[in-house]
Chains A and B, each alone.
Chain A
Amino acid sequence: MKKRLLNLFNVFGMFAMAIALFAFVAPQDQKAGAAWNVPANYKSMKSTKATPETEKVGKLLYAKHCKSCHGGIGEGDGPKAASMKTKMTSFKDAKFQAQSDGVIYYQSFVGRDEMPNFEKKILDDEDRWAIVHYMRTLK
């Protein structure tokens, strides 16, 4: 009887240890995404003019569509971020901010892999640029 209890305890202990180890391993599995292959017509896109109004609209739309993954201030730490296979780039990152508006537009609304397409969710081009303008304020 004692031996059975001991075996059960050992099995339970091993499971607990495995879960604890996986908890440390999982986030490290996230890999940085490969370089984006952005079509030339997007690279050369010209954004609309940023105004305090567009930034206000962008902030509201960002909270609705982007915050759950990219986090409140764009650091890639939203509630859904931990379950992603790809490590998200912070919008504060200098390399990210060095990209042209058109490239950010393509990455944000056309997307790829885990970054979903938002073209059917945000129909108005003005609204899309408002989000890009807001992302620029996060640096």
Chain B
Amino acid sequence: MKNKMLFIILLSLISIITFAQEDTTAVAETKDKPVRSPFESGYLIDAQTTVIPNPNTLEMVIQHKFGTIENGRSDLWGIYAPANIRMGLNYVPVRNFQIGAGITKTKMATDVNAKWTILEQTRENTIPVAVALYGVMAIDGRNISAFETGQVREAYSGPVGSFKFPDRLSYFSQLIVGRKFTDWLSLQAGVSFTHYNAVGVLYDHDKVGVHFNGRIKVSPQGSVIFNYDAPLKIKEISEQLEWTNHPEPSFTFGYEISTSTHAFQIYAGNAGSFLPQENMMWNQRSISKDNFAIGFTITRLWGF
């Protein structure tokens, strides 16, 4: 069944690529230009948009999520609770292709990522949607003793002495389809596949998820933004008999302010990590008021 699913995913990707090449030719003939700024940044909260900055642009991103708001004013609604941080750099070597790397505080995870916008929505609707592929590989940077002494049972439950480097690796791949409907409304939908090389015996190695996000522009520089991620319960790829540790879906909403070189997003949501595979595999915080945490994303662009 797993092989069949991989075959279907591969087939879909090949057909998308073929479709992309055909349509690129069509664009060249009609000179239909891509729509302007379907999103203001490549980041939408902790998700990705189909937008990639201009070639030879370096992007620095600072992401921060405070603790949950459940303790109220005692820790100033989570602002003085333990926080999660990710700092990363992205570079655009050629048009519509971006590579990046970052480090997240939780698990001291180092990630490398790549995004390819295969199709851009055009002004005359020759291409009605934007399509992008996004992939992340992360390396769990925790001390080896944490795995082998059973401190992190969800991540590893093998015998002492057999933990290897590949057991630290996790992967996330996503297909994103987006459309700028009007000057003030852009929406995206996505499907993703998450894989962890090593997990505890009570957990699954693989998860398929769906994603939905968007922005509602309320002023030339301000937008209301939201993101929803849902890991799916697919029995065929589960290694468990019951859904005891199934991750929770996450919902985040916020506000974005953007300028020529910056995007600043402030938000509240129930997902604790910045790495998509972490949120798709491990998020145990349900969508309820007490599980929400305040966070922000800041991006800065430099053109070369």
Contacts and interface: CB of A to CB of B under 8 A. Distances in A.
B162 interface: no
B233 interface: no
A60 interface: yes
Contacts of B33: 124, 126
Contacts of A139: none
Contacts of A60: 36, 183, 220
Interface string A101-120: 00000000000000000101
Contacts of A65: 259-260
A14 to B, nearest CB: 38
Given A121-B260, A121-B303, A64 B221 contact: yes
A63 interface: yes
Interface of B: 33, 36-37, 40, 54, 56-57, 183, 220-221, 258-261, 301, 303-304
B203 to A, nearest CB: 44
A68 B220 contact: no
Given A64-B220, A124-B33, 6 more contacts: A63-B221, A64-B258, A64-B260, A68-B259, A120-B303, A123-B54
A88 interface: no
In the A-B complex, list the 9 residue pairs whose CB atoms are closest, starting with the nearest. Answer: A63-B220, A120-B303, A65-B260, A60-B220, A63-B221, A68-B259, A64-B260, A123-B54, A121-B303
Nearest to B33: A124
Contact of A120 (B56, B183, B220, B258): B56
B36 A57 contact: yes
A127 interface: yes
Contacts of B37: 64
A59 interface: yes
Given A57-B36, A64-B258, A65-B260, A121 B220 contact: no
Interface residues on A, range: 10 to 19
A61 B40 CA distance: 11
Task: Label chain B's interface by main secondary structure.
Answer: loop
A68 B258 CA distance: 11
A123 B258 CA distance: 18
B186 to A, nearest CB: 14
Given A63-B221, A127-B36, A121 B259 contact: no
A34 B176 CA distance: 49
B259 A64 contact: yes
A82 B261 CA distance: 19
B27 to A, nearest CB: 14
A95 to B, nearest CB: 26
Nearest to B34: A124
A45 B239 CA distance: 67
B125 to A, nearest CB: 16
Nearest to A68: B259
22 contacts: A57-B36, A59-B220, A60-B183, A63-B220, A63-B221, A64-B220, A64-B221, A64-B259, A65-B259, A67-B220, A67-B221, A68-B259, A68-B260, A118-B260, A120-B56, A120-B57, A121-B261, A121-B303, A123-B54, A124-B33, A126-B33, A127-B36
